[in-house]
Structures are given as C-alpha cells and as structure tokens.
Amino acid sequence: MPLDDCRIIELPKIQDQRGNLTFIEAGRHVPFEIKRVYYLYDVPGGATRAAHGHRSLHQLMIAMSGSFDVTLDDGKEKKLFHLNRSYFGLYIPPMMWRDLDNFSSGAVCMVLASDYYDENDYFRNYDNFLKAARGENS
C-alpha cells in the first residue's frame, strides 16, 4: 500500500458547554470492521513504541489525551503525523511500518483494529518488512 493511503480522519465532534462528545461508527467513520480496541498509556518520557508493521491489519490511531508522533514508512518513503486531538484519527492500512514517539505527559493512544491479535500478522524486524514491501518474500 502506498503511504498516500494513510490519512487523518476527522471524527464527529458535538460541542456542548457541559463538555464535548465524539463518536466513532464502523462503516461510517472507520473504513473497516472493528474487531479489537487497545490503548497505550503511562509511556515514559523519551520512550518509543510500536516499531513494527502488519501484513493485513488496518488500524485507526487516536490521541485520546495528550499528544504523540507517528512515523509511517511504506518501504519507500516516510511521513510524520502529529496526533494531538481526540476527534482526529490516523488511518493506517496494512504494510506500513510504524514508530510512535514524543509522547506528552499523560498521553493516551487508542487504537481500533480490523482483526483480533495475531502474532503471525506482525513484522518485528525492519529488514524483513522492507523485503516484503518490495515483494522480495511473502
């Protein structure tokens, strides 16, 4: 998949003096069926998370609180996204290497995923990811 397929999706934001509300609906706001939700929190200052890719998993990544950077890499080029609003989600299609860093204090990263956890879907080694992204192995 080309890096151009990665994009920020603006989620509905209902503003109210009592507090704002944002909702997410599969099939409307998320371009995949949601099968898993997980979140990262209490990330120590200076730590990097992720450093992996997925063969077939689609994800929507949201900064629920605070901010962090996501660097996506399709094997040809890289692009940095700064997430800092809970009503913006970063859509990440399959075959993207991702690195998360620059977490602010109290940051919470929520991820909506298209499938259940499957270790076989992961690329944990960047060189193996590059070979697969270039079609050098399966």
Decide if pLDDT at 137 tops 90.
no
In a domain, 101, yes or no: yes
| Strands in 7-133 per DSSP E | 7-10, 13-14, 21-22, 36-40, 49-54, 59-65, 68-73, 78-83, 88-92, 97-101, 108-113, 122-123
Just list the catalytic residues: 52
Output the pTM of the full model. Answer: 0.92
Residue 2 — very low, low, confident or very high, per pLDDT cuts 50/70/90? confident
Can you tell me the distance from the alpha carbon of 3 to that of 79, in angstroms, rounded to the nearest whole number?
Answer: 8
In a domain, 138, yes or no: no
In a domain, 20, yes or no: yes
Which range marks the domain in which residue 122 is found?
3-133
What are the percentages of helix, strand and coil residues in the chain, rounded to 5? 10, 40, 50
**Residue 15 CB contacts under 8 Å (≥ 6 apart), including other chains:** none
* Model pLDDT for residues 17-33, shown as the tens digit of each residue: 999 999 999 888 999 99
* Model pLDDT for residues 53-96, shown as the tens digit of each residue: 999 999 999 999 999 999 999 999 999 999 999 999 999 999 99
In a domain, 34, yes or no: yes
Mean per-residue pLDDT of the chain: 93
In a domain, 49, yes or no: yes
Number of structural domains found in the chain: 1
Give the domain CATH number at 117.
2.60.120.10
In a domain, 102, yes or no: yes
